[in-house]
Amino acid sequence: MKPLALVCLLIVSIPAQAHRLVVFAYAEGLQVQGSVRYAGGGGAAGVAVRIREGESDTTLMLQTDPEGRFHFRARRPVDHRILATSSTGHQARWHLSAEEFSPASVADPPAPAQRASSYFAPVPASENARDEHLELSESQHPPQAPAEYSPPASRAVDAQLEAAIEGAVARQLGPLRAELQQFRHEVRLSDVLGGLGSIFGLAGLYLWWRSRRGEPRR
Amino acid sequence: MAHIPDGVLAAPVLAGGALVALAGLRYGLRQLDEARLPQAALLAAAFFVASLIKVPVGPSSLHLLLNGLMGLVLGWAAVPALLIALLMQAVFFGYGGLLVLGVNLVIIALPAVLCAGLVGPRLVTASRRGTWTWGAIAGAGAVALSGLLVCLALALSGPEFLPAAQVVLATYGPLMLVEAAVTGSAVVFLQRLAPELLPQVRPEGLAGAKTVCKRGPP
């Protein structure tokens, strides 16, 4: 009777379930948008997010905002390992691979500064500015080299257009991917029934095994 | 948080937990006879499902553990039942993990077994009101002990987890109250309708159980 009541309660409370931490991040150019949520629940506020850049020891520490979101600007288009740790000890990981930083957008001038500025604390502002200049000067070299083969103006427009398209696609796809990721971690009724079935099935198997073993003796 | 996820604890803690869990499991399996297996399976299923019923506490959320009740009903047989339930939670819900299964089993099952040993004998001689009180003590005590064990596991793994451990401890207070009410009511219910389910009643003679039953409905 009690399990039945529990199952009823469970069916009512599935959408409110919040126990496991899930982190997700995607890149728009070098700008990385991320969110930390409880599986099937709302955003996880104030969760510490540690970002490791490639194989280096450079780490960036962030805190999620009240909606569980975080964003930062990557310095280089390399693999980023993201680790979220809540105050209660839950952990979640996400791997942002280098391929996700689209090459055209990476060369693009940085996104509006005010979007990222408040999350820049661990990276000193001056150093950051220098990095951006570095990226810009680097990215200007390749278009200059093949300039003889195509008119510079259309080349620049092409690159800009490509970057804009890639940025737009990333912006559209990002939330969709986040939703997909969240959906994947939601506990579904099939999970619950599968687990219950496994428990009773295992009990039956054990009983059967015990009875088989006991048979010859009786 | 009763389920510690993979990748948080240090290797020695994981190994120690696994060893203790194995020893308990060996003993528990011997106590699990055919007559008690259906109850074990039912309670394992209830435990499995109860993890989805969340009690929101501050920024985090907790769920019913029911390990006090499982200890009272199953005694040592609660250990294999809890192992199966935790395994299913790890596989189907992603709570906890396979590497930390041993530690999580100790965290949940040790309080259950202690409840069986310490509170169980008192239930036999208790009056009806006393039954509720002892059931509530078992429920609250088991949760409190589980919380302390989580803290111990975190603290042994590294000093950086001490703040997390404190948060865990703080959030266990409200859960203790809920768990006390649920376990107390469940034990009274069992004592009145199915006293044979509480194994501690049997060794003292069925007479004790019968008088309790007669005293029940006036």
pLDDT at position B116 is: 87
Comparing A102-106, B73-77, B96-100, which segment has the lowest mean pLDDT?
A102-106
Instruction: Compute, in degrees rounded to 10, the torsion defined by CA atoms A163, A167, A169, A171.
Output: 180
List b or e across A88-117, with b for residues whose CB sees 16 or more CB atoms inside 10 angstroms: bbbbbebebeeebbbebbbbbebbeeeebe
- Res. B36: pLDDT tops 80: yes
pLDDT at residue B18 in the model? 92
Please judge whether A196 and B7 are an interchain contact, meaning their C-beta atoms are less than 8 angstroms apart.
no
Which phi and psi angles does B118 have, rounded to 5°?
A: -90, -45
Residue A12 is predicted with a pLDDT of 39
User: Other CB atoms closer than 10 Å to residue A57's CB: what's the count?
Assistant: 7
Q: Which of A19, A93, A202 sits opposite B84 (nearest CB)?
A: A202
Please report the beta strands in A19-131, taking only residues with DSSP state E, as ranges in sequence order: 21-28, 31-38, 48-53, 59-63, 69-73, 80-85, 91-96
Optimal mutation site among B57, B93, B162, interface A, most CBs of chain A within 10 A: B93
Selection from B99, B24, B53 nearest residue A6 by Cα: B53
Q: Return the CA Rg of chain A.
A: 25
Chain B residues in contact with A89 by the CB 8 A cut-off are 1, 4-5, 8, 150, 154, 161, 164-165, 167-168
CA dist B115 and B130 (Å) reads 16
Give ipTM to 2 decimals. Answer: 0.72
Residue from B3, B36, B49 whose CB has the most chain A CBs within 10 Å, to mutate: B49
pLDDT, one tens digit per residue, over A11-30 is 433 333 346 788 888 888 78
Q: Write down the mean pLDDT value for chain A.
A: 71
Which pLDDT band, with edges at 50, 70 and 90, does A107 fall under?
low
Mean pLDDT across A181-194? 81
Residue B60 and residue A192: Cβ atoms within 8 Å? no
What is the arrangement of strands in the sheet containing A48-53, beginning at the earlier edge strand?
Answer: A59-63, A48-53, A80-85, A91-96
Q: What is the pLDDT of residue A124?
A: 44
User: pLDDT for B132-157, tens place per residue?
Assistant: 888 899 999 999 898 888 888 888 88
Percent of chain B with pLDDT over 70: 86
Which residue of A lies nearest to B150 if distances are taken between CA atoms?
A89
B96: left (phi over 0), alpha (psi -120 to 50) or beta: left
The residue-averaged pLDDT of A120-127 equals 44
Q: Please, which residues 79-118 of chain A have a Cβ atom closer than 8 Å to chain B? A: 85-91, 93
Look at residues B192, B181, B167 and name the one whose alpha carbon lies nearest to residue B60.
B167
Nearest to A6 among B50, B167, B189 (CB): B50
In this model, does residue B59 exceed pLDDT 60? no
Residue B83 has pLDDT above 90, yes or no: yes
Could you tell me the CA-to-CA distances from B197 to B27, B36, B73, B142 in Å, in that order? Answer: 20, 9, 6, 19
Question: Which residues of chain A are within 8 Å of residue B7 when distances are taken between CB atoms?
Answer: 91, 93
pLDDT surpasses 70 at A150: no
Query: Which three-class secondary structure state does DSSP give residue B203?
Result: coil
Can you tell me which residue has the tokens 């007669």? B214
* Ordered DSSP codes for B26-47: HHHHHH--TTTHHHHHHHHHHH
Kindly report the pTM of this predicted structure.
0.68
Token pair 């044979």: residue = B196
Nearest alpha-carbon partner for A48 in A82, A18, A75: A82
Decide if pLDDT at A112 tops 60. no
- pLDDT score, position A35: 86
Listed ranges A30-44, A199-213, B12-26; the one with the highest mean pLDDT: B12-26
User: Nearest Cβ partner of A195 from B88, B165, B167?
Assistant: B88
Q: Mean of the pLDDT values across residues A169-186?
A: 81
Smallest Cα distance from B169 to chain A, Å: 9
* Helices A2-13 + A189-214 axis angle, to 10: 150
pLDDT single digits (tens) A28-63: 878 888 888 877 667 788 888 888 888 877 788 888
Of B191, B63, B174, nearest to B135 (Cα)? B191
**pLDDT at position B199, please?**
59
Kindly determine whether residue A87 and residue B163, on different chains, have CB atoms separated by under 8 Å.
Answer: yes
A195: nearest CA partner in chain B: B88
Q: CB–CB of B99/B14 below 8 Å?
A: yes
pLDDT of residue A111 exceeding 50:
no
Q: Residue A93: beta bridge partners?
A: A83
Asked if B168's CB is within 8 angstroms of A13's CB, the reply is no
